[in-house]
Amino acid sequence: MSGTLFICDGDCPKVDLNYIENYRCAILRKRFFVNQLLTWKLSILSIVFVIAIDVGMVFFAIVMLVSFHATHAARARRAAGDGGKRPLLFPFWMKDVDFGASPIYEIAFMFCNVSVCGYVNIQTQIVWVRHIATKVDIIIWCIEDLLVDVHPTTNREEKEHFALGIKQRMRHIIRQHQSMFSLMDDYAKVHKKFLMYEQKICSLVVCLTAYCTAEKLDEGELQLILILLLIATVVVHFIPCYLCTFIADKVDGLPQQFE
């Protein structure tokens, strides 16, 4: 690999793209675009997953409500309103409040369906972590290129030329390193407390949802909404853990490039 490393200021993907485009090495450009393509595919996959979970839960909630009215409407008219309790997407409880009565039921039902659409947002975390990982890759590529086309010489002019080239390349490595730390600080400011809260809450949700699903199965009832919620919670709980482990291993492995 050979080429001239150019100065890169800023932390946005567009700046990284310009940096790689100016780099005169097709191999590194290919590596960079392979990383970006993988980020794009993961983003699309996360969006499809979230939409599928949201649509599935809302769909099953509507089916449950329609089924309730179809099976209990006649009984409700005969029993003067004692037709059973209308189903909600999530169970609610409040002292002295009947969530099966109108208009409280309608408000709670709409709140469930609207809130589930904002249940999870993992796409931004994927893009952010992948961008930090790309920064690490750029630093590694710069380190690998540090002594390319540099060889021992007794000529004074060549020595000065090689020394100047190494200084410029080290300057670019340091700038990329600072850019990586800046990205990590920004990511921590946005997601640190959120991730800590998510890890504490998701563990309880996974356990309670699995317990409720098992209880319903023992009673002979298949709760598709609870199963969807369980799958979504496990995946949403796993992805941030994996992303943090991935970026930690990536950054921790960076000092080995200097050995």
- CA distances to 1, 22, 100 from 26, in Å: 9, 10, 65
Q: Provide the pLDDT for residue 114.
A: 63
Are 116 and 57 a contacting pair, CB within 8 Å?
Answer: yes
> Which structure tokens are listed for 98?
């009947």
- C-beta neighbour count of 174 within 10 angstroms: 12
Does the pLDDT value for residue 17 go beyond 70? no
Higher pLDDT, 142 or 82: 142
Give the residue carrying structure tokens 């039902």.
109
109 Cβ contact partners less than 8 Å away, ≥ 6 residues apart? 61, 65, 88, 89
- pTM greater than the 0.85 cutoff: no
**Is the backbone of residue 23 left (phi > 0), alpha (psi -120 to 50) or beta?**
beta
Reported as a single tens digit per residue, the pLDDT across 217-228 is 888 777 777 788
Q: Provide the pLDDT for residue 166.
A: 83
- Rounded Cα gap, residues 249 and 259, in angstroms: 17
Reported as a single tens digit per residue, the pLDDT across 149-206 is 777 777 878 888 888 888 888 888 888 888 888 888 888 887 777 777 777 777 777 8
Q: How confident is the model at residue 63 (pLDDT cuts 50, 70, 90)?
A: confident
Reported as a single tens digit per residue, the pLDDT across 242-254 is 888 888 888 887 7
- Rounded Cα gap, residues 51 and 89, in angstroms: 16
What value does the mean pLDDT of the chain take?
73
